[in-house]
Amino acid sequence: MHDHRRLGRELELFHADPLSGAGLPVWLPAGAAARHSVEEYVRELERRAGYQHVYSPPLGKRELFELSGHLGYFAGDMFPVLRLSDDDEFVLRPALCPHHALVYRARGRSYRELPLRIAELGGMYRPERSGVLGGLSRVRAISLNDAHNFCPPEQVGAEVAEVLELIRVAHAALGVRPAGFRLSLRGPGEKYVGDDEEWRHAEDLLRAALSGLPYVEAPGEAAFYGPKIDIQVRDAAGRESTLSTIQLDFDKPARFDLCYADARGRRARPVMVHRSLVGSMERLFGYLIEVHAGAFPAWYAPVQVRVLPVGPEQVAAAEAFRRDCVLAGLRAELVVDGSLGARIRDAARRRVPYAAVLGAREVAAGQVALRLRDGRGVDPMAAPDALGLIAGVVAGRSAELLP
């Protein structure tokens, strides 16, 4: 495996500038293009699974985070409160759940609406110590693929099973290879809310959802409000971290007095399932850069096609092919400077999946010759067929470069 910080620099995916601040990298155009494709994919996967997406601000009033319990139980992992005046204080949020609880209670809810799945790719902030920062795996500004699923207690088991399946699908498409499942349980100490009965019940539900999967139990790793399933990945240095997570929470629905009208019109309390399919965009890409050695599947490669005219006479045809690729939704660029051999090698070094070469013979026949980043070549084919081949691989989100 390769260190994502070195590859991130070489491939110009992101930039860590001391002036921006430790743990606050900026995404360069190539990294942003790849991330955009992944975000679109995840949003569509969630939409099809019945999630509704919202936007909420990355900071909120102090009182919101007092109500949620974050200031009481989690203040050590939060930035200091921002004070505008004595009665106007704000918190850079460490999690999205408080805002999603407000979405839930923006109006009355009926059992018919449940499970209500509220999703957002949202910003949140944690003041990680500067010693542990570096690259994308640990940052202070986090863009989390997050959702909160509100459901009646009797639906929790099915909901957790469904989320586990969605995680499996997303991992397969992205090329994530989990290092293991972890059932994170309460440890000793006072840093947990809720009563023993609720905790036991929640732990049993998660244990049942994991039956048949290899997992380890990790006492002391639970969230302050409930136990969770964590799906771990390993970085180039062999360190484990959590990518995907499913957490049960009986506490926040009570704190926010969330309720719904059940089938008989009685007031009932939903359970809140916090879940992230692929974790934060930062940690996800830190991992994906390493596991793919920068050679992402074509569907989220920053540049999918580099169009290379052999000589000046082929530039117009090459530019026309590039434009057709762009109009077909692909990310394509034209490179004219340098020898053809050097340009093909540079495209491979940049992990561009396809180089489309146009020489005199190809242009005369209306063809292009594809060269893959792994060195394989494809016999010249009609330009629309070459475009169709690439577009098909991209649309199918295939891990392979040829159908």
Decide: is 126 part of the binding site for Zn ion (CB under 5 A): no
The pair of structure tokens assigned to 401 is 């470069």
Least Å distance between CB 69 and Zn ion? 12
- Estimate to the nearest angstrom the gap between the alpha carbon of 349 and the chain centroid: 25
One of 182, 274, 275, 322 touching Zn ion (CB under 5 A) = 274
Q: In 3-state terms, what secondary structure has residue 190?
A: coil
Q: Strand 228-234 vs strand 240-249: parallel, antiparallel, or unpaired? A: antiparallel
Task: Give the integer Cα–Cα distance in Å for 31 and 26.
Answer: 9
- DSSP letter string, 211-268: TTS-EEEEET-SBTTB-EEEEEEE-TTS-EEEEEEEEEESHHHHHTT--EE-TTS-EE
Compute CA distances 10 → 5, 31, 157, 301, 350, whole Å: 9, 12, 45, 15, 8
Distances (CA, A) of 346 to 260, 350, 366, 373: 59, 6, 25, 10
Indicate the residue among 95 and 348 with the shorter CB distance to Zn ion: 95
Q: Does 193 bind Zn ion (CB under 5 A)?
A: no
Provide the minimum distance between the beta carbon of 276 and Zn ion in the complex, in angstroms, as a whole number. 8
Stretch that binds Zn ion, among 201-209, 233-241, 274-282, 298-306 (CB under 5 A): 274-282
Q: Which of 40-48, 87-95, 313-321, 342-350 is the region at the interface with Zn ion (rule: CB under 5 A)?
A: 87-95
> Interacting stretch for Zn ion, rule CB under 5 A, among 92-100, 162-170, 306-314, 369-377?
92-100
Instruction: Tell me how far CA of residue 350 lies from CA of 10, 300, 347, 372, in angstroms.
Output: 8, 14, 5, 12
Measured CA to CA, the distance from residue 41 to residue 55 in angstroms comes to 18
Nearest to Zn ion of 30, 101 (CB atom): 101
Contact 270, 226 (CB under 8 A): no
Q: Which is nearer to Zn ion, 16 or 272 (CB)?
A: 272
Q: Which residue stretch of 66-74, 95-103, 252-260, 312-320 sits at the interface with Zn ion (rule: CB under 5 A)?
A: 95-103
- Binding piece for Zn ion, criterion CB under 5 A, among 86-94, 218-226, 273-281, 391-399: 273-281
How far apart are CB 170 and Zn ion at their closest, in Å?
Answer: 18
Considering only 38, 97, 281, 347, the residue that binds Zn ion (CB under 5 A) is 97
List C-alpha distances in Å: 274 to 14, 156, 191, 198, 361: 29, 11, 19, 16, 58
Site for Zn ion in 279-338 (CB under 5 A): none
CB of 147 to Zn ion, least distance (A): 8
Stretch in the footprint of Zn ion (CB under 5 A) among 3-11, 90-98, 192-200, 362-370: 90-98
Residue closer to Zn ion by CB (options 246, 305) is 246
* Residue that the structure tokens 């000793």 belong to: 188
Cβ(117)–Cβ(159) below 8 Å: no
Residue 257 tokens read as: 């007095």
**Dihedral, CA atoms, 71, 244, 280, 290, nearest 10 degrees?**
140
C-beta closer to Zn ion: residue 97 or 335 = 97
d(CA 8, CA 28): 10
Q: What is the smallest separation between the CB atom of 249 and Zn ion, expressed in angstroms?
A: 7
Which among 91-99, 121-129, 224-232, 395-403 is the span making contact with Zn ion, rule CB under 5 A?
91-99
**CA angle, 103 as apex, 78 and 224 as ends, to 5°?**
35
Q: Supply the minimum distance, in Å, between the C-beta of residue 71 and Zn ion.
A: 15
Nearer to Zn ion among residue 101 and residue 386 (C-beta): 101
Binding string to Zn ion for residues 247 to 266, with x set by CB under 5 A, is what? --------------------
If the CB atoms of residues 162 and 290 are measured against Zn ion, the closer one turns out to be 162
Binding track over 374-403 against Zn ion, x by CB under 5 A: ------------------------------
Cis peptide before 115 (omega within 30 of 0): yes
Please, what is the minimum distance in Å from the beta carbon of residue 128 to Zn ion? 18
**Interface ranges with Zn ion (CB under 5 A):** 95, 97, 274
